Structure 1
Amino acid sequence: MQVTDFRRDRNLKELTEHRTVVLPVACYETTITDNIHRYIPLHWHDEVQFVLVTQGEAFFQVNEEKTMVKAGEGLFINSGCLHLAEDLHDTGCVYICLNVAPEFVLPRELYTAYVYPYIQATSLPYIFVNPQKEWGANIADAMRSIHRLISGQPPLYEIDITLQLALLWKNLIAGGFPLEYKQEERLKSERMKRMLSYIHLHYAEKVSLEDIARAGQLSRSECCRYFKRLLHQSPLSYMIDYRIQQSLLLLRQPGAGVTEVAYRVGFNSTSYFIDVFRKSRGMTPLAYKKSCSSRESIRYNQS
C-alpha cells in the first residue's frame, strides 16, 4: 500500500516500516502525485531501494545527483542516501518501490563480500537500471516477481522472495561498478543531515542562518553552498518550505484554524503565512483546508 502521508523523523529518516509481516522487505506501487505534498520529499533510510517506473516519468535526486527515469527504467538507491522524487511534467508517474534491509539481501556468509562493500561505497549513491542491458532487464523482472509475490502471497512466497532478491543483487553487482570510499563525501552527507535535522527539530522556533550552520559545523557561507548544491535554495528558504509542508498536516485536522496553524509552524504573521502558502500551493490555507474536508466527506460517504 502506498504511503501518502510521508512521515520522517527530525533527521529526515523515513519512519515507514519497510517490511512484510515476517520479512524486512516492502514492495508497493507509488503514484507520486497521490502524496500529500504531491511529490516524494527529501528523506533517507537504512534500507536499499529499487525503483521501477511503470507509467510516465519521474525526476529523482539522490544526494547531489539528478536523473530522469522513464517507464520501463529503474534506479538502485543506496542505503543512507538522501533522495526525493517529483513528477515534474504531470505524467501520472507510477513506480514499483522495493525496500529491503541490506543484511537480508544475501545470506550472512555472503554479506561481507558481496553486499557490505557496495552499501559503503561513496561512489554509488544510485545506479541507473537500464532495461536495454541484460542485467537491468533481469533486475526489472525480479522486481515485478517480488511485487506479485507480496501482493498475492502464494504458498512459500517468502522463500521465493529470497530467491528473487539474490537474483536481483547478483545482476546489480554484475554491472562491474567501481567502488570508492571517500571520507570527505561521507562527512559532507552527515553534515547535511545534521543541518536538515536541526531545521526539522526547531522549525517552529526562531531560527537563524548561524544556528543552521552551527549544526553542520560550517561557516554561514559554506552552509549556504551546501544547500545550494543539494537543494538549489538557501537554508532559510528550505525552512520556510518545510514549515508549509508541516502546515498541510495540521490544516487537515478538523479543529485547527489558519492563525493557529501559522503560529504552530513558526510564522509570526498570519498574513505572511497566507501569502507564502498561496505562492507555494496555488491556493489559500483556508481553501486547502476546505478542499481536504470535501475529499474526506466524499470518501466517508463512499465507504
Structure 2
Amino acid sequence: MKIHPAVNDNLKERAAHGSHKFPLQVYQDMEYCENGLILYNHWHEEAEILFVTDGIMELVVDGISILAGKDTVVLIPPNQLHVAYQYRSQKCRFSSIVFHPDFISSKNQDTIQAEQLNPFLENSFISSYVIYGTDLKCEAVQHLLKELTKNYFACTPYRELLIKGYLYQILFHLLIKEEKHNVKSTSDYINEERKKKILRYIDENYQNPLSLDALAGSVSLSREQFCRFFKKSFRSTPISYLNRYRLNRSMTLLRETSLPVIDIAIAVGFDSSNYFAISFRKATGMTPSQFRNMT
C-alpha cells in the first residue's frame, strides 16, 4: 500500500492505532517516498516494530541512524521522534506493528515490568533495538512477525491472545539486542522537546505567514541558532521544510475536497497561487489539478 503524505504528520500523530479494547494495529506493505523522504518526522505514544520487506532505508530514531535493509527489524520506543530517508535512491517497502504500552504492561511491578519493560518504555537511555537480516535470530523473528500478521488479519477465536503471545516473543528477541549509546542528559531531553515544539508550532501556524524570526522565537533561539539547530535536526532548511509541509497539506485537500486550487493555496499558507503551482509541480512532477484527477 502507498502511504499518502498526509498520513504522516510532522508532529505527534493524531491517529488512533487499534482500539481501546485491542490497542494494536498492523500496517502492511507500505511504500512512499517524497524527495528522498519515506517517513516524516513524527512521534506517538505507542511503541512500534518496523520491519523492512524489500529495499533499504535510513531510519533515524532518537538521533541514532540505522541503515535498515531487507529483513531488518527495528523496535521504536514510545514518544520517540523518528524519520526515514531514502537511501541512495533505492525504493523501500516496509510493514509496522504499532501498540500501546498498556497492551504489554503488567498490573504489578514484577520482574518483567520493572526490569525488562520499563527501561524500554521510559527510554532513559539513548538506545537502539535492531535485528538485521544477517543476525542469527533473524529467521526466528521473521517467522514470528509472519504469524502475528497472519493472525491479525484472520477472524479466528482468541486471535488477540495469540497475537499478544507472538508480540511478547518478538519483544524478547529485540530487547535483549539493546545497544545503549548513552544515558540521556538534560541537554538531550531539552533538544528532544525543542524539536517537538518546533514541529507543533509549524503544524499550528503553517496556514499563516511564517518568518524565520517567528520560528526561532517559538523556541527562544536567535535566527542563526535556530537555522543551525533545524538543519542538524531535520536535514533541511526551515523554509524548505515549511514549504514541503504546506505542499503535503495541500495534497490532502486536493484529494479530499473540491475546493478550487487557488483556495487551497491560500488555505495552506501560500500567498500566491502561481508560486504554489510552481512549487507543487517541482515537488511532484505534476500540476495540482493533475494530482487531483489521479487520486
Instruction: Tell me the TM-score normalised to structure 2 length.
Output: 0.86
Kept in 1: contact 2:129–2:175 (CA 8 A): no
Query: What is the aligned-residue identity percentage?
Result: 24
Residues 255 and 103 (structure 1), Cα distance of their counterparts in 2 relative to 1, 3 Å cut: closer
Separation of aligned partners in 2, 1:233 and 1:89: 17
Kept in 2: contact 1:258–1:286 (CA 8 A): yes
Separation of aligned partners in 1, 2:84 and 2:178: 26
Specify the alignment match of 2:159 in structure 1: 157
User: Of 167, 170, 180, which aligns to 1:168?
Assistant: 170
Separation of aligned partners in 2, 1:214 and 1:38: 27
Matched, 1:227 2:230: yes
After superposition, give the CA deviation of every residue in 1:133-163 in whole Å (9 maximum; x if it has no partner): 3444443332222111111132221111222
Matches within 5 A, 1:172-211: 172-178=174-180, 180-211=183-214
Kept in 2: contact 1:277–1:283 (CA 8 A): yes
Separation of aligned partners in 1, 2:117 and 2:73: 20
* Greater Cα shift, 269-278 or 128-137: 128-137
More strand by share: 2
Using the TM superposition, give the Cα deviation of residue 243 of structure 1 relative to its aligned residue in structure 2, in angstroms: 0.8
Secondary structure in 2 aligned to 1:197?
Answer: helix
Specify the alignment match of 2:149 in structure 1: 147
Separation of aligned partners in 2, 1:216 and 1:66: 25
* Greater Cα shift, 282-291 or 225-234: 282-291
Secondary structure in 1 aligned to 2:226?
Answer: helix
Residue ranges of structure 1 left out of the alignment (5+ in a row): 293-303
User: Of 215, 218, 228, which aligns to 1:212?
Assistant: 215
Using the TM superposition, give the Cα deviation of residue 263 of structure 1 relative to its aligned residue in structure 2, in angstroms: 0.9
Instruction: Tell me the TM-score normalised to structure 1 length.
Output: 0.84
Specify the alignment match of 2:290 in structure 1: 287
Specify the alignment match of 2:101 in structure 1: 102
AA matched with 2:285: G
Matched, 1:265 2:268: yes
Secondary structure in 2 aligned to 1:80?
Answer: coil
Specify the alignment match of 1:72 in structure 2: 71
Specify the alignment match of 1:295 in structure 2: none
Question: In the comparison of the two structures, how many residue pairs are matched?
Answer: 290
AA matched with 2:207: A
Aligned Cα RMSD in Å? 2.7
Kept in 2: contact 1:43–1:82 (CA 8 A): yes
Separation of aligned partners in 2, 1:136 and 1:187: 36
* Greater Cα shift, 202-211 or 120-129: 120-129
Separation of aligned partners in 2, 1:265 and 1:125: 37
Separation of aligned partners in 2, 1:245 and 1:67: 25
Moved over 6 A (4+): none
Matches within 5 A, 1:38-53: 39-53=38-52
Separation of aligned partners in 1, 2:187 and 2:257: 47
Separation of aligned partners in 1, 2:291 and 2:203: 23
* Greater Cα shift, 56-65 or 265-274: 56-65
Kept in 2: contact 1:13–1:43 (CA 8 A): yes
Residues 277 and 122 (structure 1), Cα distance of their counterparts in 2 relative to 1, 3 Å cut: farther
Matches within 5 A, 1:241-260: 241-260=244-263
Using the TM superposition, give the Cα deviation of residue 26 of structure 1 relative to its aligned residue in structure 2, in angstroms: 1.1
Using the TM superposition, give the Cα deviation of residue 278 of structure 1 relative to its aligned residue in structure 2, in angstroms: 1.5
Using the TM superposition, give the Cα deviation of residue 101 of structure 1 relative to its aligned residue in structure 2, in angstroms: 1.3
Separation of aligned partners in 1, 2:289 and 2:256: 12
AA matched with 1:102: P
Secondary structure in 1 aligned to 2:32?
Answer: helix
After superposition, give the CA deviation of every residue in 1:256-297 in whole Å (9 maximum; x if it has no partner): 2121111111111111111111211112222222333xxxxx
Specify the alignment match of 1:131 in structure 2: 133
Specify the alignment match of 1:113 in structure 2: 115
Kept in 1: contact 2:3–2:32 (CA 8 A): no
Kept in 1: contact 2:27–2:96 (CA 8 A): yes
Secondary structure in 1 aligned to 2:50?
Answer: strand
Specify the alignment match of 2:80 in structure 1: 81
After superposition, give the CA deviation of every residue in 1:12-62 in whole Å (9 maximum; x if it has no partner): 111222125732111120321399x98432211111111111222233232
Residue ranges of structure 2 left out of the alignment (5+ in a row): none
Matched, 1:54 2:53: yes
AA matched with 2:76: I
Using the TM superposition, give the Cα deviation of residue 231 of structure 1 relative to its aligned residue in structure 2, in angstroms: 1.6
Secondary structure in 1 aligned to 2:279?
Answer: helix
Separation of aligned partners in 2, 1:134 and 1:52: 16
